[in-house]
Amino acid sequence: MSKKLWQKDVEVNKLIEQFTVGKDIEFDMLLAEHDIKESAAHARMLEKVRLITKEDLEQLLPGLDAIGMQIKKGTFKIENGVEDVHSQIELQLTKIAGEAGKKIHIGRSRNDQVLTALKLYLKSELVSIIKQAEEVFEVFIKLSDKHKNILLPGYTHFQIAMPSSFGLWLGAYAESLCDDMEMVVAAYNICNKNPLGSAAGYGSSFPLDRKYTTELMGFAQMNTNSVYAQMTRGKSEKAVAVALASIAQTLSKFSYDVCLYLSQNFGFISFPEELTTGSSIMPHKKNPDVFELVRGKCNIIQGIPNQLTLLISNLPSGYHRDMQLTKEVLFPAIQQLKDCLDIIAFALPQMKVNNNILADTKYTYLYSVDALNELVKKGMSFRDAYKKIGMDIKKGRFEKPAQLKHTHEGSINNLGTEKIRKQFRKIVAAVK
């Protein structure tokens, strides 16, 4: 007979069981260590408010520790017929702690149990993502500084526009990660609220001490209203998905730039041959598959908030089984983004840049605005200077300025690198 904590004396139809469990067991293993942390906090609280005895607690905590060690070693398994990781932990705890194990669920529903473990998991993953993003950020910043004096053509509408530089280009993506971290910190703050004690969404007649469990689990505060605590299921996942999508947008756009700049038509950058792939019939090919896949994966991740919106937007308050599916949508996206951050951090430092790009005469007109500005500095009106430079270009007598002088903050000759670094560190310090 299947082992379900809620099951009475009727065996659930096998087809119904298979459909309703879905991929829960596969993704639930990611929540296992967090369920242990939550259950330990819940047990301590139950003893504090005298719903279990000190002797019960002395049985429960070592039992939870033992299961936690199995999880860390990778030996913990969900047995056949057990519905989910939360049921497995309770059943195993009861085997270890005896009657005390049967008391662990006092004042708790699987609704707030799952939601609490989920929030602990999301918090942990967001911290991990911040650390990985910080590594990529530092690569961008260091390369920006290293190549700050090497010029690069800037484009609008895929037409050459104005002079840029590798420093300006790479620094732009560093600063983009700053805004992405604002989104990550916001998502972290939403997840950093304890729903435990909301039970099935309507609280409990037991005298639970929710402030105590909030402190024990390291949440900043609790979701006060028990109904709203349950309403954060889905909302929390969507907040995280929006943060992931923000980072993904940055990585996708950068990867597109890399693919473009690597092509022979541009030839701005190159990578060691071992970081590229070849063709089955064209011996000369060095394909940027890594960056194409980052672009593709990150574009898919940018669609995750929409998937979650469609999943949760037509539901009333209270728990609904639809929420189970948020894990199937979000959990793989978290790992995909972490993989993308890892590969960017590995590959990007190996990029080589072409340090003489603008010597090509096709880039001469990049300097038209600088030439126009020089005339304005000498007293000519902007509109007259614009017409003059336009006519010079049309008649083939345009000459580019001898040197560039872009000195304002955030320009070629004043990147503001340290300011961007301080901004990033200030943002992520809110989580660390």
Domain ranges across the chain: 14-106, 111-204+234-359+409-428, 361-394
Q: C-alpha distances in angstroms, 306 versus 39, 274, 302?
A: 33, 37, 8
pLDDT at 393: 95
Q: What is the pLDDT of residue 2?
A: 45
**What's the CATH class of domain 14-106?**
mainly alpha
Tokens encoding 123: 């918090």
Low-confidence residues of the chain, pLDDT below 50? Answer: 1-2, 6
Please tell me the predicted confidence (pLDDT) of residue 9: 55
Residue 320, CA distances (Å) to 31, 230, 261, 317, 430 in order: 19, 10, 49, 9, 33
Contacts of 19 (CB under 8 A, 6+ apart): none
Q: How many residues would you count in the chain?
A: 432
Q: Which residue numbers are catalytic? A: 157, 279
Please report the pLDDT score of residue 93 as a whole number.
97
Overall pTM surpassing 0.75 (yes/no): yes
Q: Specify the fold of 111-204+234-359+409-428.
A: Fumarase C; Chain A, domain 2 (1.20.200)
pLDDT tens string 342-357: 999 999 999 999 999 9
Q: Establish whether domains 14-106 and 111-204+234-359+409-428 are of one fold.
A: no
Q: What is the pLDDT of residue 327?
A: 94
Q: What was the pLDDT predicted at 19?
A: 59
pLDDT tens-digit readout, 369-384: 999 999 999 999 999 9
